[in-house]
Amino acid sequence: MTDRTRPVIGVLAVQGDVREHLAALEGAGAQALAVRRREELASVDALVLPGGESTTIDKLTRIFDLRDPLRSRIAEGMPVYGSCAGMILLADRILDGHRDQQTLGGIDITVRRNAFGRQVDSYETDLDVVGVDGGPVRAVFIRAPWVEEAGPGVEVLASVEAKGETHPVVVRQGRLLATSFHPEVTGDHRVHRLFVQMVHGSA
């Protein structure tokens, strides 16, 4: 880590809400860098996988020749945070995925794509998130996934009640963190601050 006080955290910048994550990371005390090439990926201490369209991001990581380097760095222990589509990319298993859709993997979860419904079913709620102080987090769900199953090594940090069942929407496994929702759009940087703390802890 080049600067122990301000780690360099990349945001995968092939598709999705990249600018919002870059701003949130800067607000949370990190140096933020858009990552589109292998050499940029090699230069960061950690990475954010943004919200967007998971199948498109999957295809573009292969086109940009980033898929294998991403999987290697995750396997080597690089801290990664995924929001919405990023949660899908970090999941080991997907339900309702498109044909040939692949994930980067790393978190022992099964996710359901678009679990809350279509764009018109998007909604907001307040969530208590383990590890995030200062009261509930405003969670914005936009065509969001949820976790159907989580392995024994996965910490569930927050859940919601939906369709008569409880579903995890914030999970952590080791140095990997994922949320179903989009904290980058609210102006509240506490989830990103939690991730920055994780990056400091892994140094």
Q: Which residue has the higher pLDDT, 121 or 186?
A: 186
Token look-up 């859709």 returns 101
The response to whether 52 counts as a known ligand-binding position is: yes
Least-confidence region, from 20-24, 115-119, 132-136, 194-198? 115-119
Confidence of residue 63 (pLDDT cuts 50, 70, 90): very high
Percent residues over pLDDT 90 in the chain: 81
Confidence of residue 193 (pLDDT cuts 50, 70, 90): very high
Asked whether 163 and 49 are in contact (CB, 8 A), the reply is: no
The response to whether 142 counts as a known ligand-binding position is: yes
The response to whether 113 counts as a known ligand-binding position is: yes
CA atoms within 13 A on the CB side of 34: 10
Q: What is the mean pLDDT of the chain?
A: 92
pLDDT tens-digit map of 71-81: 999 999 999 99
How far is the C-alpha of 181 from the C-alpha of 43, rounded, in Å? 27
- Annotated catalytic residues are 84, 182, 184
The per-residue pLDDT for 7 is 96
Average pLDDT over residues 175-196: 96
The response to whether 51 counts as a known ligand-binding position is: no
pLDDT exceeds 90 at position 98: no
